[in-house]
Amino acid sequence: MKVNQETWDFYQKLLGYTDAEMKKFRANPRNEDVISKAATLMNKTIVVEVVDSHGCASQHKVGDKFYFDGSGNLLTKLCPKRICMAALSPVGALIQASTELIYAGVDPNEMRFKRAGCSDVGVECGGWGRIVMELRVEERKK
């Protein structure tokens, strides 16, 4: 799909690119492909839900949810007040995989491996606690 000039101008302003940088950006055909599919991505909410928890010092419990927009930005107002960095770090790979599937026209909820655990190994292995999270992608609520 062809991207119109108004959209290119929007991205140049958003990213703070000079004209020279924008020329280089536009020369990469993958960028046009991604931008042409941005509207689909922006209509998604990525939800990462805690499905198992034991000994979590940040007190993350089963049912806690972390919300991200379609670009992978954490929607802090919808999340718990405290979020452990050890929980967020492994979720990044799942979010990246889900967005790549959306760009490819594949339902990200069909991803086979959509769970991740925090980097704490749990008391059984010399750590403190551990949580397991599962990703799903929903249509954005208006």
Confidence of residue 142 (pLDDT cuts 50, 70, 90): low
- pLDDT score, position 116: 96
pLDDT, tens only, 14-68: 999 999 999 999 999 999 999 998 888 889 999 999 999 999 999 999 999 999 9
- pLDDT score, position 41: 87
| Of 59, 66, 126, nearest in space to 90 by CA | 66
pTM over 0.75: yes
**Mean pLDDT of all residues in the chain?**
93
Q: Tell me the domain boundaries of the chain.
A: 5-36, 45-139
Coil vs helix vs strand at 32: helix
From the CA atom positions of the chain, what is the Rg in Å? 18
* Share of residues in the chain with pLDDT > 70 (%): 99
- pLDDT score, position 2: 87
Rounded Cα distance between 58 and 88, Å, is 12
- pLDDT score, position 106: 94
Which residue carries 């718990």 as its tokens? 80
Rounded Cα distance between 138 and 91, Å, is 16
